[in-house]
């Protein structure tokens, strides 16, 4: 099958013919229909987050089940599924207390002495965060997918696989935004736009979108932003405090830099909560004013929107099909696998919400 392989950090992905194994007892072979290009793929390609190489990137996808292992009862060939990198073991402390997105079990991977799921001319290709979606097929653990209704278009379903679940989940599950509260979202890519949409669904009173790209601020309004702010005009926290009479209840950082994470905390009103979603490069420290904690300001991280994806993702599908989740507007372009490097580069400029790779069916 065809796949986009990362051999070396900083180098373009190579489109190559690779081999995929047969499903083991609890594994599922999925034909990839669509895969979104998320900024996290770019972090791993650039090496700001390290990963075992060579690997096939991609982790935001949807497809159709082709074959299942002998013990799989949850899905059967022909089922439509969304994949999720938050594969859960189901029996560790994190899973049993409902925090499946932080399950760190490695038992969902194959053992090193088994045949690898992915390989090329006898060389092991490491599976990227349980998935490797930039490929015509995926061989994954049954706990890395969720079955969805067949009337859901699979290109838009793919977006739910990461960006949407991360953004909406950060608002609903991690921060638990209350009806009527004031929300600010820094960064309006696939993740930030999903925070905005999630805040609108949660009934936030004011939703302020912040970005440096004008077209993104316009798009943010379609997702539910009530106010927009161009970050290029400087001093974002001060302007937010002026706009909100003292700061927001909830802020979300959806970029992944030191300065924007610090802004997220600085723009809080007393008692407010900042949620950092962006992947800040490994080794980077952020600085906060200690005295701000006295007024019960809080800062927290969010892993994949603190999802319980087998429950959350079908609900997001219903939200889309009932017109409350705006996924049509999130697809900036549909591309071929061969165009993946251009789509990754485009993320640096911030003009794309999402590029979606469509596979030949």
Ligand X SMILES: NC(=O)c1ccc[n+]([C@@H]2O[C@H](COP(=O)([O-])OP(=O)(O)OC[C@H]3O[C@@H](n4cnc5c(N)ncnc54)[C@H](O)[C@@H]3O)[C@@H](O)[C@H]2O)c1
Interface residues toward ligand X, by CB under 6 A: 38-40, 43, 162-163, 166, 186-192, 210-213, 216, 231, 254-256, 260, 277-279, 302-304, 347, 350
Tokens 């936030």 sit on residue:
204
Closest contact distance (angstroms) between CB of 100 and Zn ion is 6
Closest CB to ligand X among residues 79, 262: 262
Q: Which long-range contacts (CB under 8 A, 24 or more apart) does 256-261 make?
A: 256/39, 256/43, 256/280, 256/281, 258/284, 258/285, 258/286, 258/287, 260/186, 260/187, 261/286
Local structure of residue 207 (DSSP, 8 states): E
Told to judge if 195 belongs to the known catalytic residues of this protein, a careful annotator would answer no
Q: Are the C-beta atoms of 248 and 182 separated by less than 8 Å?
A: yes
Nearer residue to Zn ion within complex by CB, 37 or 175 = 37
Among ligand X, Zn ion, none, residue 103 binds (CB under 5-8 Å by kind): Zn ion
Stretch that binds Zn ion, among 158-166, 215-223, 235-243, 298-306 (CB under 5 A): 158-166
DSSP 283: T
DSSP characters over 38-85: -HHHHHHHHTSS---SSEE----EEEEEEEE-TT--S--TT-EEEE-S
What does 95 interact with, of ligand X, Zn ion, none (CB < 5 to 8 A by kind)?
Zn ion
- State the nearest-atom distance from the C-beta of 93 to Zn ion, in Å: 8
Inter-residue contact 146 to 47 (CB < 8 Å): no
E strands in 285-330: 298-301
277 binds Zn ion (CB under 5 A): no
**Active site includes 43?**
yes
Q: Is 61 a catalytic residue?
A: no
Q: Considering the candidates 95, 103, 162, 195, report the single residue annotated as catalytic.
A: 162
Whether 89 is a known active-site residue: answer no
**Residues 56-95 within binding reach of Zn ion (CB under 5 A):** 89, 92, 95
Smallest distance, Å, CB 86 to Zn ion?
10
Active site residue 141: no
**Toward ligand X, which CB reaches closer, 18 or 62?**
62
Is the separation of the CB atoms in 140 and 131 below 8 Å?
A: yes
Say which of 43, 141, 172, 326 is annotated catalytic.
Answer: 43
Identified binder of Zn ion from the candidate list 35, 38, 81, 219, rule CB under 5 A: 38
The catalytic residue positions are 38, 40, 43, 59, 162
């Amino acid at each position: 099958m065809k796949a986009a392989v990362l051999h070396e950090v900083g180098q373009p992905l190579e489109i190559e013919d690779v081999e995929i194994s047969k499903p083991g007892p609890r594994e599922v072979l999925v034909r990839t229909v669509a895969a979104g290009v998320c900024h996290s793929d770019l972090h791993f390609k650039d090496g700001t987050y390290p990963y075992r190489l060579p690997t096939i990137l991609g982790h935001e996808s949807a497809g159709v089940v082709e074959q299942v292992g002998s013990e799989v009862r949850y899905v059967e060939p022909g089922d439509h599924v969304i994949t999720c990198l938050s594969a859960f073991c189901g029996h560790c402390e994190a899973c049993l207390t409902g925090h499946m997105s932080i399950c760190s079990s490695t038992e969902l991977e194959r053992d090193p002495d088994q045949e690898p799921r992915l390989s090329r001319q006898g060389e092991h290709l490491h599976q990227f965060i349980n998935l490797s979606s930039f490929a015509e097929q995926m061989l994954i653990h049954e706990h890395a997918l969720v079955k969805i209704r067949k009337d859901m278009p699979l290109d838009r379903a793919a977006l739910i696989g990461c960006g949407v679940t991360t953004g909406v989940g950060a608002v609903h599950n991690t921060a638990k935004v209350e009806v009527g509260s004031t929300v600010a979202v820094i960064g309006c890519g696939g993740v930030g736009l999903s925070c905005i949409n999630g805040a609108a669904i949660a009934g936030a009173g004011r939703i302020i979108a912040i970005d440096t790209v004008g077209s993104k601020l316009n798009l943010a309004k379609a997702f539910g932003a009530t106010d927009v702010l161009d970050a290029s005009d400087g001093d974002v926290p001060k302007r937010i405090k002026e706009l909100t009479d003292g700061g927001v209840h909830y802020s979300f950082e959806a970029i992944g830099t030191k300065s924007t994470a610090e802004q997220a905390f600085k723009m809080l009103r007393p008692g407010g909560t900042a949620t950092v979603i962006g992947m800040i490069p490994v080794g980077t420290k952020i600085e906060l004013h200690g005295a701000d904690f006295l007024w019960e300001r809080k800062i927290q991280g969010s892993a994949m929107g603190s999802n319980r994806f087998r429950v959350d993702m079908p609900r997001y599908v219903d939200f889309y099909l009932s017109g409350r989740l705006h996924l049509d507007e999130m697809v900036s372009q549909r591309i071929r696998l061969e165009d993946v490097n251009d789509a990754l580069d485009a993320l640096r400029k911030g003009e794309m919400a999402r590029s979606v790779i469509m596979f030949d069916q």
